[in-house]
């Protein structure tokens, strides 16, 4: 379709249509005009603007009732013209404004006329377009004292539509039009920039409408959630923009005390407002009530965009109206701090950004009024916190703690004003202690035991991952809440306190609570841990850049004092199981009881009467775990400087890493990983090896005081499980101390020492595996020679040449006779000496003939341990006998390449081993048969005759006796010890006979 840019051409096209519409006001004529308007260029239409608008305005002003569809069509046509042209005459702007408003006016009521929703929407959009079409200063002609009634009518009309209409589109459009009408449009080019005089005049003008606007908008904002978040967002935007304009501190400071008399009629003059001090005070007080309602409602709005707009409201009003809205500052700050940890990441980020803006501009900190209000709010919250924590549900606790965290972040270093008040610090700490009370009723905590090897070495693989502090905390269950978000909030609160607060004051206070009562101990320890994390600035969002973190020396002193409390005798060695209870009684250690809220225990008069419940043991377990987590936190806080505290911390952590309670062992393992990360060790093995000297010294001292240090064998066990052969030279003397202590206390502590020896021998077998390979190769060569000799003798009778030298046959026979004597037990030291080949001349020059060559350290240790096993194999306690058999098997493995030491020891151990195999509990028989298989694998020739004479007949007889029973047994039989023993013998007897070469010897 052609476009007519020339005014003359456009006039020729539009004139007939405009004349026809002037004569006959019908929808068809309006639509015809609008169709023609689409063919006219913008510049031509601008020249013909008034000419085109005349028939449309004439249609609206024609007396008599008109169809709504016609009025709607006319308004839409006017809107189209205004959208492509500018209004350059004040009279035209004012007249169009009035004519559009009259389309919705009701002669007999202040409410909008009962017209269709389509017409209402068209009029609102027309007004919106009209305001944007005003050119330059022309827009200000609407905002004169004389136009106050007309402006008030339009504002009232839009507010009524926004509040009462059901259509969301009409409500939203009315609020956006109201925002434009109040010259607070979001458009970049509208409205024009106002000078100070114009802003002051408009401020006085809008002040007349402020009560009505703010009240109506509050009703809209606090209405039903179902009206939609976009309506609430639009209403919030109009609310804070009009208040920020009228109540701006910058404007109010320039308002003169005396009111100028406006040159308008009396009734209009009465509507004018002079924004003097009393008016500001009264209006600010009334607005505070509205703002409080809005904050309470929108803070919990389900849609995050509504909460986001509330942040904008707070920021705008606090930046512009801090003095005039002094009564509202507390509510505004409450809204801001309540959203600082909102569940929505965008809201949380925006809130923290606003807080940081305030901190950077020092708006709150340097404004004494705001700081006082914030401190007063925090005082009030701290006072009410204990009651709120006991009476609210999880959502209530979460909201309250959000407020607390927000206040702490916003106050920053000023939080010490509150903490220096003994009463408020007491209330705050008691509330935190109360809500952090653990639920220790889970019996699984006590039941779960650590049976397998230590997990510390397995966990070292995680060192390749970056340390994440949050993932280190063991999952806990609390009495007064179940929402995990609450615990995360509590941790952030404590960390923020540690970062901004007086660290010495806080640590002293919570340490006193830690020592004051067992009821507070676990909670106080959790808080102390997080205080240190916060003081070190770990994962704390810094809003006040002028606040520096605690110095390393200060931090180390505080951590040292807390660490001494944690690892003290009364707080570290607690009863965590019935077995541990006996140990505690023996060592005269008093256990720490559980919380009285959970387990009501009477004071225990003496250790001899000590008898703890499951809840009490659970409580002790959790206290140890929290203290272990604290050591991990301290390591993260100090970094490499924590190495200075390793002499105090590492030994106790190793004790707990070997604890039989699974939870304690897991947390201690995690703590070891934390220490490795913090102190820059590659692995737990590296950590132990680099600190082995002091650990060995501590172990050596404690082994001489086993009554006071019953956990010493555990540390030695953990060291061997998580170290390498470089530890052996340091630990040699300690192993001798263990053997000496075993000799002295074998009736009381045999189990502990045997566990250590088992770990030692397992480590030796792991560290020196090459001996096994050499032994196997030697054994294979010997069997091959024996087979070749047998084959040679068989072929001799068939006429084949015998090529074996006579010397080799002679040597073989001599060796066979000696082995036979050894197998029969006819061995002596002189025989062993004769077996040694004569030393060479070089050897005679290097070694003195009277000095026996020293054995390797691992061989001497295995020999000494096997010596003890010989004596303990007949112990009356079954568990001890089982452990001795396990240790004995490892001794044989370590000594396999040293027959001169191994064979005499086997000769001595044979008789008690036979008793275990033939006359003992089935468990012991099963374990002893496993040892026998190992012996047969290592020294078969030596045991051939002994096995054939002492054991094989009894094993065969037992299998024959058991065969009928197993043949008739049902499915339950497979779960019995007799079945397991029978199966083990059947599975191992064939390979054992092969190792002993019984078939070959019988031929």
Beta bridge pairs of residue 134: 87
With the CA atoms of 835, 840, 842 and 845 taken in that order, what torsion angle do they form, in degrees rounded to the nearest 10?
A: 60
What's residue 490's pLDDT? 93
- Place 263 in a pLDDT band, splitting at 50, 70 and 90: low
Residues 6+ apart with CB under 8 A from 826: none
Taking the whole predicted model, whether its pTM rises above 0.75 is answered as no
More confident residue, 360 or 141: 141
What's residue 161's pLDDT? 92
Q: What is the pLDDT of residues 621-652, one digit of tens each?
A: 999 999 999 999 999 999 999 999 999 999 99
What's residue 680's pLDDT? 92
Q: Looking at residues 778-803, what average pLDDT do you find? A: 47
Residues 837 and 298: their CA atoms lie apart, in Å, by: 98
What's residue 369's pLDDT? 60
What's residue 266's pLDDT? 67
User: In this model, does residue 799 exceed pLDDT 60?
Assistant: no
Give the single-character DSSP code of 950.
I
Q: Is 478 helix (H, G, I), strand (E, B) or coil?
A: strand
Residue with tokens 């904008």: 312
Q: Looking at residues 96-123, what average pLDDT do you find? A: 85
Q: What is the pLDDT of residues 543-559, one digit of tens each?
A: 665 566 677 889 999 99
HSE (side-chain half, CA atoms, 13 Å) at 251: 25
What's residue 853's pLDDT? 60
- Polymer length of the chain: 1003
Let me know: does 948 contact 998? Beta carbons within 8 Å.
Answer: yes
More confident residue, 962 or 138: 138
13-17, 285-289, 607-611, 669-673: the lowest-pLDDT one: 607-611
User: In this model, does residue 561 exceed pLDDT 90?
Assistant: yes
CB atoms within 10 A of CB 108: 6
User: In this model, does residue 301 exceed pLDDT 50?
Assistant: yes
- Work out the percent of the chain whose per-residue pLDDT is above 70: 81
Let me know: does 895 contact 901? Beta carbons within 8 Å.
Answer: yes
Let me know: does 314 contact 321? Beta carbons within 8 Å.
Answer: no
HSE (side-chain half, CA atoms, 13 Å) at 283: 25
Q: What are phi and psi of 48, to 5 degrees?
A: -100, 20
User: In this model, does residue 223 exceed pLDDT 70?
Assistant: yes
What's residue 621's pLDDT? 93
Beta bridge pairs of residue 438: 478
Angle, in degrees to the nearest 10, between helices 168-181 and 229-246: 20
Through-space distance between the first and last CA atoms of the chain, rounded to whole angstroms: 119
What's residue 466's pLDDT? 44
154-158, 278-282, 386-390: the lowest-pLDDT one: 386-390
What's residue 627's pLDDT? 96
180-189, 333-342, 510-519, 986-995: the lowest-pLDDT one: 986-995
Residues 48 and 68: their CA atoms lie apart, in Å, by: 27
Quickly list DSSP for 607-642: GGG----HHHHHHHHHHHHHHHHHHHHHHHHHGGGG
Q: What is the pLDDT of residues 410-438, one digit of tens each?
A: 788 888 888 888 988 998 999 899 999 99
What's residue 463's pLDDT? 53
User: In this model, does residue 782 exceed pLDDT 90?
Assistant: no
Q: What is the pLDDT of residues 862-909, one digit of tens each?
A: 888 888 888 888 888 888 888 889 998 888 888 888 888 888 888 888
Q: Which of 79-83, 380-384, 811-815 has the highest mean predicted lDDT (pLDDT)?
A: 79-83
Percentage helix, strand, coil for the chain under 3-state DSSP, each rounded to 5:
75, 0, 25
Q: Looking at residues 670-686, what average pLDDT do you find? A: 92
Residue with tokens 């995690």: 670
What's residue 214's pLDDT? 95
Q: What are phi and psi of 441, to 5 degrees?
A: -90, 0
- Place 602 in a pLDDT band, splitting at 50, 70 and 90: very low
For the CA atoms of the chain, what is the radius of gyration? Answer: 47
Largest alpha-carbon pair distance within the chain? 152
Q: What is the pLDDT of residues 722-741, one digit of tens each?
A: 888 888 888 888 888 888 88
Q: What is the pLDDT of residues 321-359, one digit of tens each?
A: 988 998 898 888 888 878 877 888 899 889 888 877 776
Residues 169 and 971: their CA atoms lie apart, in Å, by: 77
Nearest Cα residue to 630 out of 661, 592, 670: 670
What's residue 128's pLDDT? 93
- Place 605 in a pLDDT band, splitting at 50, 70 and 90: very low
Angle at 319 between CA 316 and CA 324, to 5 degrees: 100
User: In this model, does residue 460 exceed pLDDT 60?
Assistant: no
Q: What is the pLDDT of residues 859-873, one digit of tens each?
A: 888 888 888 888 888
What's residue 191's pLDDT? 58
User: In this model, does residue 606 exceed pLDDT 60?
Assistant: no
User: In this model, does residue 468 exceed pLDDT 50?
Assistant: no
Q: Looking at residues 116-137, what average pLDDT do you find? A: 90
36-40, 542-546, 612-616, 957-961: the lowest-pLDDT one: 542-546
Residues 349 and 339: their CA atoms lie apart, in Å, by: 10
More confident residue, 977 or 219: 219
Give the single-character DSSP code of 416.
H
Q: What are phi and psi of 948, to 5 degrees?
A: -65, -35
Instruction: Work out the burial of residue 685: count CB atoms within 10 Å of its CB; fewer than 13 is exposed, 13-18 middle, 19 or more buried.
Output: buried
Instruction: Work out the burial of residue 90: count CB atoms within 10 Å of its CB; fewer than 13 is exposed, 13-18 middle, 19 or more buried.
Output: middle
- Place 972 in a pLDDT band, splitting at 50, 70 and 90: confident
Quickly list DSSP for 115-140: --HHHHHHHHHHHHHHHHHB-GGGGG
Instruction: Give me the chain's average pLDDT, please.
Output: 81
Let me know: does 342 contact 307? Beta carbons within 8 Å.
Answer: yes
């Amino acid at each position: 379709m052609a476009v007519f840019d020339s005014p003359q051409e456009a006039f020729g096209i539009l004139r007939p249509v405009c004349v026809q519409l002037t004569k006959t006001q019908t929808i068809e004529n309006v639509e015809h005009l609008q169709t023609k308007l689409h063919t006219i260029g913008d510049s031509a239409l601008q020249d013909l603007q008034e000419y085109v608008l005349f028939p449309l305005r004439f249609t609206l002003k024609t007396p008599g009732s008109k169809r709504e569809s016609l009025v709607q069509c006319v308004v839409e046509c006017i809107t189209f013209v205004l959208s492509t042209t500018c209004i350059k005459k004040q009279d035209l702007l004012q007249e169009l404004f009035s004519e559009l408003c009259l389309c919705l006016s009701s002669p007999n009521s202040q409410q909008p006329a009962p017209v269709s929703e389509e017409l209402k929407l068209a009029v609102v959009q027309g007004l919106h377009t009209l305001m944007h079409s005003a050119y330059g200063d022309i827009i200000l002609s609407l905002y004169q004292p004389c136009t106050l009634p007309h402006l008030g009518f339009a504002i009232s009309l839009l507010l009524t539509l926004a509040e009462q209409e059901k259509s969301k589109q009409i409500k939203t459009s009315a609020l956006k039009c109201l925002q434009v009408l109040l010259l607070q449009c979001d458009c970049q080019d509208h409205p024009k920039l106002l000078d100070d005089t114009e802003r002051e005049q408009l401020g006085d003008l809008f002040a007349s409408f402020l009560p009505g606007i703010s009240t109506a908008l509050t009703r809209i904002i606090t209405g039903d959630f179902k009206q939609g978040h976009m309506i609430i967002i639009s209403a919030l935007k109009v609310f804070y923009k009009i208040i920020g304009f009228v109540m701006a501190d910058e404007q109010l400071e320039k308002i003169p005390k005396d009111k100028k008399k406006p040159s308008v009629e009396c009734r209009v003059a009465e509507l004018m407002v002079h924004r003097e001090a009393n008016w500001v005070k009264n209006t600010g007080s009334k607005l505070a009530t509205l703002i409080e309602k809005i904050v309470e409602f929108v803070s919990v709005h389900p849609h995050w965009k509504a909460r986001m707009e509330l942040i904008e409201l707070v920021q705008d009003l606090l930046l512009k109206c801090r003095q005039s809205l002094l009564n509202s500052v507390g509510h505004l700050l409450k809204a801001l701090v309540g959203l600082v940890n909102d569940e929505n990441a965008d809201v949380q980020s925006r809130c923290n950004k606003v807080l940081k803006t305030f901190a950077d501009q020092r708006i709150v900190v340097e404004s004494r009024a705001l700081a006082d209000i914030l401190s007063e709010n925090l005082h009030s919250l701290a006072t009410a916190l204990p009651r709120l924590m006991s009476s609210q549900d999880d959502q209530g606790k979460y909201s309250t703690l959000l407020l607390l965290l927000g206040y702490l972040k916003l106050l920053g270093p000023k939080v010490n004003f509150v903490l220096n008040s003994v009463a408020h610090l007491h209330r705050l700490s008691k509330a935190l202690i109360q809500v952090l009370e653990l639920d220790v009723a889970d019996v699984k905590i006590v039941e779960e035991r650590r049976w397998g090897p230590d997990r510390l070495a397995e966990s070292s693989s995680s060192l390749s991952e970056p340390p994440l502090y949050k993932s280190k905390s063991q999952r806990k269950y609390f009495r007064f809440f179940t929402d995990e978000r609450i615990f995360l909030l509590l941790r952030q609160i404590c960390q923020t306190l540690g970062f901004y607060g007086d660290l010495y004051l806080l640590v002293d206070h919570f340490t006193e609570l830690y020592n004051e009562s067992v009821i507070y101990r676990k909670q106080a320890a959790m808080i102390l841990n997080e205080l240190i994390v916060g003081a070190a600035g770990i994962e704390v969002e810094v809003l006040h850049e002028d606040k520096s973190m605690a110095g390393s020396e200060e931090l180390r002193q505080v951590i040292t004092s807390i660490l001494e409390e944690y690892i003290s005798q009364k707080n570290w060695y607690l009863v965590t199981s019935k077995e541990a209870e006996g140990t505690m009684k023996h060592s005269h250690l008093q256990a720490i009881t559980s919380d009285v809220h959970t387990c009501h225990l009477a004071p225990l008069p003496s250790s001899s009467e000590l008898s703890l419940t499951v809840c009490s043991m659970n409580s002790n377990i959790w206290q140890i775990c929290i203290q272990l987590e604290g050591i991990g936190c301290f390591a993260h806080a100090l970094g490499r400087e924590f190495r200075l505290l390793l002499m105090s911390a590492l030994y106790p952590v190793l004790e707990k890493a070997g604890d039989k309670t699974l939870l304690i062992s897991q947390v201690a393992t995690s703590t070891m990983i934390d220490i490795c990360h913090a102190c820059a060790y590659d692995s737990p093995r590296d950590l132990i090896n680099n600190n082995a000297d002091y650990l060995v010294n501590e172990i050596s001292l404690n082994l001489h005081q086993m009554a006071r240090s019953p956990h010493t064998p555990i540390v030695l066990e953990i060291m061997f499980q998580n170290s390498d052969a470089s530890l052996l030279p340091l630990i040699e003397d300690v192993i001798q101390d263990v053997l000496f202590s075993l000799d002295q206390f074998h009736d009381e502590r045999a189990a502990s020492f045997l566990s250590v020896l088992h770990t030692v021998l397992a480590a030796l077998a792991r560290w020196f595996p090459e001996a096994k390979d050499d032994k196997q190769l030697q054994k294979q060569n010997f069997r091959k020679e024996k087979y070749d000799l047998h084959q040679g003798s068989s072929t001799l009778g068939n006429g084949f040449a015998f090529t074996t030298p006579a010397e080799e046959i002679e040597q073989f026979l001599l060796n066979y006779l000696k082995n036979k004597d050894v197998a029969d037990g006819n061995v002596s030291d002189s025989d062993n000496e004769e077996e040694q080949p004569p030393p060479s001349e070089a050897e005679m020059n290097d070694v003195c003939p009277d000095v026996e060559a020293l054995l390797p350290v691992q061989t001497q240790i295995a020999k000494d341990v096997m010596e003890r096993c010989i004596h303990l194999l007949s112990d009356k306690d079954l568990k001890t006998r089982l452990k001795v058999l396990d240790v004995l098997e490892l001794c044989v493995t370590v000594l396999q390449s040293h027959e001169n030491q191994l064979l005499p020891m086997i000769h001595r151990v044979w008789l008690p081993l036979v008793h275990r195999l033939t006359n003992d509990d089935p468990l012991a028989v099963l374990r002893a048969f496993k040892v026998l298989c190992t012996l047969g694998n290592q020294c078969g020739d030596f045991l051939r005759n002994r096995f054939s004479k002492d054991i094989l007949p009894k094993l065969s007889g037992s299998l024959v006796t058991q065969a009928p029973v197993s043949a008739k047994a049902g499915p339950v039989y497979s779960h019995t010890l007799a079945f397991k023993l029978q199966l083990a013998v059947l599975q191992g007897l064939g390979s054992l006979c092969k190792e002993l070469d019984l078939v070959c010897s019988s031929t």
